[in-house]
Amino acid sequence: MQQEVRNRKRKDLIFALAGLFSLVFAICTLLVLVLDLWTTGFGRIDYNFLTSFPSRFPAKAGILSAWVGSLCVMLVTAFVAIPIGIAAGVYLEEYAPKNWLTTIIELNITNLAGIPSITFGLMALGLFVYKLQLGQSILTAGLTLALLILPIIIVTTRESIRAIPGTIREAAYAMGASKWQMIQHHLLPYSAGGIITGVIISLSRAIGETAPLITIGALTFIAFLPTSPILHEAPFISFQWLKDSFTVLPIQMFNWVSRPQAEFHVNAAATGLILLLLTLVMNGIAIAIRYRFRKKIKW
Protein backbone atom coordinates (compact mmCIF):
# COMPACT_ATOMS: atom_id res chain seq x y z
CA MET A 1 0.00 0.00 0.00
CA GLN A 2 2.61 2.55 1.10
CA GLN A 3 4.86 1.29 -1.63
CA GLU A 4 2.07 1.94 -4.11
CA VAL A 5 1.57 5.50 -2.94
CA ARG A 6 5.30 6.17 -3.03
CA ASN A 7 5.42 4.89 -6.60
CA ARG A 8 2.65 7.20 -7.69
CA LYS A 9 4.26 10.15 -5.97
CA ARG A 10 7.51 9.44 -7.75
CA LYS A 11 5.74 9.53 -11.12
CA ASP A 12 4.20 12.81 -10.09
CA LEU A 13 7.62 14.23 -9.33
CA ILE A 14 9.12 12.96 -12.59
CA PHE A 15 6.36 14.58 -14.59
CA ALA A 16 6.70 17.87 -12.72
CA LEU A 17 10.46 17.90 -13.34
CA ALA A 18 10.01 17.10 -17.03
CA GLY A 19 7.50 19.93 -17.34
CA LEU A 20 9.77 22.36 -15.54
CA PHE A 21 12.70 21.39 -17.73
CA SER A 22 10.69 21.98 -20.93
CA LEU A 23 9.55 25.36 -19.66
CA VAL A 24 13.06 26.48 -18.74
CA PHE A 25 14.35 25.25 -22.09
CA ALA A 26 11.72 27.21 -24.01
CA ILE A 27 12.22 30.40 -22.04
CA CYS A 28 16.01 30.19 -22.24
CA THR A 29 15.93 29.77 -26.01
CA LEU A 30 13.72 32.81 -26.31
CA LEU A 31 15.91 34.83 -23.95
CA VAL A 32 19.07 33.92 -25.84
CA LEU A 33 17.43 34.99 -29.11
CA VAL A 34 16.32 38.32 -27.69
CA LEU A 35 19.65 38.95 -25.98
CA ASP A 36 21.53 38.16 -29.18
CA LEU A 37 19.36 40.59 -31.15
CA TRP A 38 19.73 43.16 -28.41
CA THR A 39 23.53 43.03 -28.08
CA THR A 40 24.04 43.06 -31.84
CA GLY A 41 21.33 45.48 -32.85
CA PHE A 42 20.56 47.88 -30.03
CA GLY A 43 23.59 50.11 -30.55
CA ARG A 44 22.63 50.64 -34.19
CA ILE A 45 19.20 52.12 -33.43
CA ASP A 46 19.30 55.90 -33.52
CA TYR A 47 17.49 58.80 -35.12
CA ASN A 48 19.38 58.43 -38.38
CA PHE A 49 18.57 54.75 -38.62
CA LEU A 50 14.86 55.52 -38.39
CA THR A 51 14.92 58.42 -40.85
CA SER A 52 17.24 57.16 -43.59
CA PHE A 53 16.48 55.21 -46.73
CA PRO A 54 18.35 51.98 -47.40
CA SER A 55 21.76 52.50 -48.93
CA ARG A 56 24.73 50.66 -50.41
CA PHE A 57 26.72 51.84 -47.39
CA PRO A 58 25.66 49.96 -44.26
CA ALA A 59 26.44 52.83 -41.91
CA LYS A 60 24.22 55.24 -43.86
CA ALA A 61 21.36 52.80 -44.39
CA GLY A 62 18.09 53.12 -42.46
CA ILE A 63 14.60 51.76 -42.28
CA LEU A 64 12.52 54.83 -43.13
CA SER A 65 10.85 53.33 -46.21
CA ALA A 66 10.39 50.02 -44.40
CA TRP A 67 8.54 51.29 -41.36
CA VAL A 68 6.45 53.72 -43.39
CA GLY A 69 5.63 50.82 -45.71
CA SER A 70 4.70 48.57 -42.80
CA LEU A 71 2.50 51.31 -41.38
CA CYS A 72 0.69 51.91 -44.71
CA VAL A 73 0.15 48.19 -45.33
CA MET A 74 -1.16 47.70 -41.78
CA LEU A 75 -3.57 50.61 -42.27
CA VAL A 76 -5.05 48.97 -45.35
CA THR A 77 -5.14 45.58 -43.64
CA ALA A 78 -6.88 46.91 -40.55
CA PHE A 79 -9.31 49.01 -42.57
CA VAL A 80 -10.39 45.99 -44.60
CA ALA A 81 -10.09 43.09 -42.16
CA ILE A 82 -11.62 44.59 -39.02
CA PRO A 83 -15.09 45.49 -40.32
CA ILE A 84 -15.41 42.45 -42.56
CA GLY A 85 -14.10 40.08 -39.89
CA ILE A 86 -16.39 41.38 -37.15
CA ALA A 87 -19.42 41.47 -39.45
CA ALA A 88 -18.76 37.92 -40.64
CA GLY A 89 -18.29 36.69 -37.07
CA VAL A 90 -21.52 38.31 -35.90
CA TYR A 91 -23.38 36.96 -38.92
CA LEU A 92 -22.16 33.39 -38.39
CA GLU A 93 -22.94 33.49 -34.69
CA GLU A 94 -26.29 35.28 -34.72
CA TYR A 95 -27.90 35.22 -38.15
CA ALA A 96 -26.68 32.21 -40.13
CA PRO A 97 -29.18 29.35 -40.21
CA LYS A 98 -27.82 26.25 -38.51
CA ASN A 99 -27.50 23.92 -41.49
CA TRP A 100 -24.83 21.89 -43.28
CA LEU A 101 -23.74 24.79 -45.47
CA THR A 102 -23.03 26.95 -42.42
CA THR A 103 -21.16 24.06 -40.82
CA ILE A 104 -18.96 23.66 -43.91
CA ILE A 105 -18.24 27.39 -43.98
CA GLU A 106 -17.38 27.39 -40.28
CA LEU A 107 -15.04 24.42 -40.65
CA ASN A 108 -13.28 26.07 -43.55
CA ILE A 109 -12.77 29.34 -41.73
CA THR A 110 -11.08 27.49 -38.89
CA ASN A 111 -8.94 25.65 -41.46
CA LEU A 112 -8.05 28.89 -43.23
CA ALA A 113 -6.48 30.18 -40.02
CA GLY A 114 -3.96 27.35 -40.26
CA ILE A 115 -2.98 27.59 -43.94
CA PRO A 116 0.66 28.53 -44.65
CA SER A 117 0.80 32.23 -45.34
CA ILE A 118 2.72 31.84 -48.60
CA THR A 119 -0.38 30.24 -50.09
CA PHE A 120 -2.21 33.49 -49.50
CA GLY A 121 0.61 35.22 -51.36
CA LEU A 122 0.18 32.95 -54.39
CA MET A 123 -3.55 33.49 -54.41
CA ALA A 124 -3.09 37.25 -54.09
CA LEU A 125 -0.59 37.23 -56.96
CA GLY A 126 -3.17 35.57 -59.20
CA LEU A 127 -6.18 37.55 -58.02
CA PHE A 128 -5.05 41.04 -57.03
CA VAL A 129 -1.94 41.46 -59.20
CA TYR A 130 -2.89 39.66 -62.42
CA LYS A 131 -6.70 39.56 -62.50
CA LEU A 132 -7.64 42.82 -60.81
CA GLN A 133 -4.49 44.62 -61.98
CA LEU A 134 -3.86 46.25 -58.60
CA GLY A 135 -0.13 46.08 -59.16
CA GLN A 136 2.61 45.14 -56.69
CA SER A 137 1.31 47.87 -54.46
CA ILE A 138 0.52 48.79 -50.88
CA LEU A 139 -3.12 48.06 -51.69
CA THR A 140 -2.35 44.53 -52.86
CA ALA A 141 -0.17 43.87 -49.81
CA GLY A 142 -2.80 45.25 -47.42
CA LEU A 143 -5.53 43.14 -49.00
CA THR A 144 -3.36 40.03 -48.90
CA LEU A 145 -2.59 40.40 -45.21
CA ALA A 146 -6.24 41.24 -44.58
CA LEU A 147 -7.22 37.89 -46.07
CA LEU A 148 -4.56 36.24 -43.96
CA ILE A 149 -5.86 37.59 -40.65
CA LEU A 150 -9.56 37.58 -41.51
CA PRO A 151 -10.08 34.02 -40.18
CA ILE A 152 -8.42 34.95 -36.87
CA ILE A 153 -10.69 37.97 -36.44
CA ILE A 154 -13.79 35.98 -37.38
CA VAL A 155 -12.95 33.21 -34.94
CA THR A 156 -12.14 35.54 -32.02
CA THR A 157 -15.28 37.58 -32.70
CA ARG A 158 -17.38 34.44 -32.55
CA GLU A 159 -15.70 33.20 -29.40
CA SER A 160 -16.10 36.53 -27.65
CA ILE A 161 -19.78 36.69 -28.58
CA ARG A 162 -20.36 33.12 -27.51
CA ALA A 163 -18.92 33.88 -24.07
CA ILE A 164 -21.90 36.18 -23.38
CA PRO A 165 -24.48 34.22 -21.40
CA GLY A 166 -27.80 33.41 -23.03
CA THR A 167 -29.59 34.96 -20.06
CA ILE A 168 -28.31 38.39 -21.10
CA ARG A 169 -29.69 37.96 -24.62
CA GLU A 170 -33.01 36.78 -23.20
CA ALA A 171 -33.11 39.79 -20.89
CA ALA A 172 -32.61 42.13 -23.87
CA TYR A 173 -35.19 40.39 -26.03
CA ALA A 174 -37.67 40.30 -23.15
CA MET A 175 -37.42 44.09 -23.00
CA GLY A 176 -38.62 44.23 -26.60
CA ALA A 177 -35.25 44.63 -28.30
CA SER A 178 -34.92 43.66 -31.94
CA LYS A 179 -32.07 41.40 -32.98
CA TRP A 180 -29.96 44.29 -34.21
CA GLN A 181 -30.63 46.28 -31.03
CA MET A 182 -29.55 43.27 -29.00
CA ILE A 183 -26.33 42.97 -31.01
CA GLN A 184 -25.62 46.70 -30.99
CA HIS A 185 -26.46 47.38 -27.32
CA HIS A 186 -25.17 44.16 -25.79
CA LEU A 187 -23.20 41.67 -27.85
CA LEU A 188 -20.79 44.14 -29.45
CA PRO A 189 -20.05 46.22 -26.33
CA TYR A 190 -19.63 43.18 -24.07
CA SER A 191 -17.44 41.32 -26.54
CA ALA A 192 -15.41 44.38 -27.53
CA GLY A 193 -12.54 43.46 -25.20
CA GLY A 194 -12.11 40.04 -26.75
CA ILE A 195 -12.57 41.32 -30.28
CA ILE A 196 -10.05 44.16 -29.90
CA THR A 197 -7.57 41.76 -28.35
CA GLY A 198 -7.98 39.39 -31.30
CA VAL A 199 -7.59 42.23 -33.78
CA ILE A 200 -4.37 43.49 -32.18
CA ILE A 201 -2.87 40.03 -31.94
CA SER A 202 -3.74 39.31 -35.57
CA LEU A 203 -2.23 42.63 -36.67
CA SER A 204 0.92 41.85 -34.72
CA ARG A 205 1.09 38.62 -36.65
CA ALA A 206 0.53 40.43 -39.96
CA ILE A 207 3.27 42.98 -39.28
CA GLY A 208 5.90 40.23 -39.24
CA GLU A 209 4.66 38.41 -42.36
CA THR A 210 7.23 38.23 -45.12
CA ALA A 211 6.54 35.30 -47.41
CA PRO A 212 3.20 36.37 -48.92
CA LEU A 213 4.52 39.87 -49.58
CA ILE A 214 7.61 38.60 -51.35
CA THR A 215 5.33 36.35 -53.39
CA ILE A 216 3.25 39.26 -54.63
CA GLY A 217 6.48 41.03 -55.53
CA ALA A 218 7.31 43.50 -52.80
CA LEU A 219 10.60 45.22 -53.59
CA THR A 220 13.52 44.83 -51.26
CA PHE A 221 15.15 48.14 -52.08
CA ILE A 222 12.91 51.21 -51.87
CA ALA A 223 14.50 54.61 -51.61
CA PHE A 224 11.36 56.74 -51.68
CA LEU A 225 8.23 57.22 -49.62
CA PRO A 226 4.66 56.61 -50.80
CA THR A 227 2.81 59.60 -52.23
CA SER A 228 1.57 61.91 -49.51
CA PRO A 229 -2.13 61.43 -48.74
CA ILE A 230 -2.53 65.18 -48.19
CA LEU A 231 -2.52 67.57 -51.16
CA HIS A 232 -2.01 71.31 -51.07
CA GLU A 233 -4.87 71.96 -53.49
CA ALA A 234 -8.38 70.51 -53.86
CA PRO A 235 -9.45 67.76 -53.25
CA PHE A 236 -6.70 67.87 -50.55
CA ILE A 237 -6.71 64.14 -50.09
CA SER A 238 -5.12 61.56 -52.32
CA PHE A 239 -5.21 57.80 -52.45
CA GLN A 240 -2.32 57.55 -54.87
CA TRP A 241 -0.20 55.98 -52.10
CA LEU A 242 -2.29 52.85 -52.31
CA LYS A 243 -0.87 52.23 -55.78
CA ASP A 244 2.78 52.81 -54.83
CA SER A 245 5.32 50.06 -54.49
CA PHE A 246 6.63 49.45 -51.02
CA THR A 247 8.80 47.48 -48.70
CA VAL A 248 8.13 46.45 -45.09
CA LEU A 249 10.28 45.86 -42.01
CA PRO A 250 10.68 42.08 -42.26
CA ILE A 251 11.53 42.27 -45.98
CA GLN A 252 14.13 44.95 -45.31
CA MET A 253 15.55 42.73 -42.61
CA PHE A 254 15.56 39.72 -44.92
CA ASN A 255 17.35 41.76 -47.56
CA TRP A 256 20.10 42.79 -45.15
CA VAL A 257 20.56 39.33 -43.75
CA SER A 258 21.22 37.99 -47.23
CA ARG A 259 24.06 40.47 -47.84
CA PRO A 260 27.62 39.19 -47.25
CA GLN A 261 28.89 42.23 -45.25
CA ALA A 262 28.72 41.87 -41.47
CA GLU A 263 27.69 45.53 -41.04
CA PHE A 264 24.44 44.79 -42.86
CA HIS A 265 23.82 41.96 -40.42
CA VAL A 266 23.95 44.51 -37.62
CA ASN A 267 21.33 46.54 -39.47
CA ALA A 268 19.23 43.40 -39.78
CA ALA A 269 19.51 42.71 -36.07
CA ALA A 270 18.47 46.27 -35.28
CA THR A 271 15.44 45.94 -37.56
CA GLY A 272 14.60 42.60 -36.01
CA LEU A 273 14.78 44.14 -32.56
CA ILE A 274 12.39 46.91 -33.58
CA LEU A 275 10.01 44.37 -35.07
CA LEU A 276 10.18 42.29 -31.93
CA LEU A 277 9.52 45.30 -29.70
CA LEU A 278 6.58 46.33 -31.90
CA THR A 279 5.05 42.88 -31.57
CA LEU A 280 5.66 42.83 -27.82
CA VAL A 281 4.09 46.25 -27.38
CA MET A 282 1.04 45.27 -29.44
CA ASN A 283 0.57 42.06 -27.47
CA GLY A 284 1.05 43.98 -24.24
CA ILE A 285 -1.70 46.40 -25.24
CA ALA A 286 -3.93 43.45 -26.10
CA ILE A 287 -3.36 41.87 -22.69
CA ALA A 288 -4.02 45.18 -20.93
CA ILE A 289 -7.28 45.67 -22.83
CA ARG A 290 -8.42 42.16 -22.06
CA TYR A 291 -7.58 42.59 -18.39
CA ARG A 292 -9.52 45.86 -18.19
CA PHE A 293 -12.60 44.34 -19.79
CA ARG A 294 -12.39 41.24 -17.62
CA LYS A 295 -12.38 43.48 -14.57
CA LYS A 296 -15.28 45.54 -15.82
CA ILE A 297 -17.58 42.70 -16.88
CA LYS A 298 -18.01 39.57 -14.82
CA TRP A 299 -20.50 36.90 -15.82
Q: Which residues bind another protein (CB under 8 A)?
A: 98, 165, 167-178, 181, 185-186, 190, 296-298
Minimum distance of another protein from residue 298's CB (angstroms): 6
Q: How far is the CB of 83 from another protein (least distance, A)?
A: 24
- Between 177 and 225, whose beta carbon lies closer to another protein? 177
DSSP secondary structure code for residue 99 in this structure:
S
Q: Which is nearer to another protein, 76 or 172 (CB)?
A: 172
Phi, psi values for residue 69, rounded to 5°: -60, -45
Give the shortest CB-169-to-another protein separation in angstroms. Answer: 8
Burial class (CB in 10 A: 0-12, 13-18, 19+), 246: buried
Q: Which is nearer to another protein, 168 or 211 (CB)?
A: 168
Residue environment code for 207-236, b if the CB has 16+ CB neighbours within 10 A, otherwise e: bbbbbbbbbbbbbeebeeebeeeeeeeeee
User: Which is closer to another protein, CB of 63 or CB of 172?
Assistant: 172
Contact (CB, 8 A) for 275 and 141 = no
CB of 1 to another protein, least distance (A): 45
> What number of residues does the chain have?
299
Angle at 271 between CA 266 and CA 276, to 5 degrees: 125
Q: Which is nearer to another protein, 53 or 173 (CB)?
A: 173
Find out whether 134 and 95 touch, Cβ atoms under 8 Å. Answer: no
CB of 175 to another protein, least distance (A): 5
